[in-house]
Chain A
Amino acid sequence: MGKLRLQDLTRGGKIRIGLLALALILPFLPFVTDYVLHIAILVLLYMILSLGLNIVPGFNGLLDLGYVGFYGIGAYTSGLLTYHFGLSFWVIIPLAFINGAIWGILLGAPTLRLTGDYFAIVTFGFSELVVLLLTNEIWLTRGPLGLPGIDVVSIDLTLFGGPKWEFIGELPYYYLAIVMVLVTVFVMYRIQDSRLGRAWFAIRDDEVAAVSCGINLLAYKVIAFAISAAFGAVGGSFFARWVTFLSPDMFKFWESFLILCMIVLGGMGNIWGVMIGAVVLVSLSEVLREILPVLGLPVQVRFLAFGLIMVLMMRFRPAGIMPIPAVAAKMRAGRVKRKKVKPAVGIKK
């Protein structure tokens, strides 16, 4: 390993380092209030969630409408473990990952035999089931009353005679979220460039050919679903310890749809595209929340705006803002030859 010099980096590498540096100094910029920081954390949280969801539709080509179910399970598991047993966040994170994966396997193993729309319907049903469970199992979740008073994240070194440092305000959560996003992106990149990732891409592109290469479709789809669910649950446990209050209606179907929109908008299957999708939709949502009342419209109109954006995207750039390289190459070729390009990545029928 030689010394790392700036001029040796590729253009992409420079952009990455620049963006990371910007993210790190963001809280100290003059216009950044607590509110802006809150939105920034929300963006980072949705990056984790959309990267996690991306595994299923983006890498495997399966439509998953129930992702928020895993998010909810993760959040409530984290909340309850903290509430009742006072478990540390650092213990909860790996537990949440495993717990999410288990639920992913439990739901995926019987249902991933279904194809296309049928699978999507089952996942949709699952997320509704989770909300109903959280609402009605009052002995466990306090139901619609919500779960208040969840401890904040803290770094406790009292065991070693050190200090105990509690995360108060938005700043520590912001950096915690950045670390979590970095870890997620790292894992995604490693998977993308591995035997596991290639097997998923094979399933996405052609199931019959994938099987002929010796790929066990069900097993690899279940693995995909489990890992996706695990990241959803990790996102959920961060959410629980950040807002310190949970209620069942935070995990309605709308959230699944929003995360799916981020993926489609950003570029299904592309790690960077998906993160861009999260930035665009979360910030747009907040901007609209401010602007709409000024225009004399109810806040709910922003759902209509999202719908409009999706329609326009499907019409003019169906592969997303930043498609996967092969689709981007086809689009460039298509532009030269003036041919219409179909989106190569989509949901299997």
Chain B
Amino acid sequence: MKPATGLPTERSSARRELGGSAAAYALAIATFVLFAWFVVARQRRPFDLTTIAPYWNAIRSGFGLTLWVSFVSLVASTSLGFVVYLLSKSRVRYFRAFTDVFTEIIYGTPLLVMIMIMAFVIGPAFGTTNRAVMGLAGLIVYITPYMTNIFRSAIASIGAEQYMAMDLFGFTPFQRYRYIIVPQVIRILMPPLMNNFSLIIKGSALLNVLSYRELFYEVALMTNNTFRFVEGFLLMWGLYLVITIPLSQLTKWIDRRWGL
């Protein structure tokens, strides 16, 4: 619900800024580029990306796998998160308690620990030694309560007055979901969902401990062979940022364009 604003004085009293916003951003970005250049220039060996050229295909496939597992985790944890949300709203007290306890456990667990437990403890208990799959399952389970959370807050943000209004106007339950609830929830959900996607992409780097051949693993492998740590890790860092920064910018854009 939007608070009442709109007195004409509010806009004019905004703090006066020095310099344009675009220029300030260009300067800030330049600061970090300069820092990167400084760090590169301080290395004993000259920076030479061609030294890792033979590994380019491996890095590319690692990058692709990172995107793929992240996407799979996104879809799976969103679905699972919704199921947990439904359980948390269940009339059965046990289900509500179950989701509370589940959430507390996950919130208290480091992602790396979750992945190891899944791959080396829970997996074998169910007769699987496929650590890659169990590791991915660990990532999915880890993100799930965060997904539940955004469903909870998105659905809660539809105020009581709106439900009364729907009641009063005589919408059928189907019409309420189709025209009013779902369209709003989707819009409210998008920004935090994209943030969680970013969280997944970053978290997927930890799958390398299970010899999962994603971006981090491929780059680390390459640096072990070539000792080109600077080129390899900088490139990897850049590749993560190439996904996550546009994603966060897109999130902001969507929120501006579609936010409620």
Please determine whether chains A and B interact with each other in the same assembly.
no
Q: Report A's interface with B, CB cutoff 8 A.
A: none
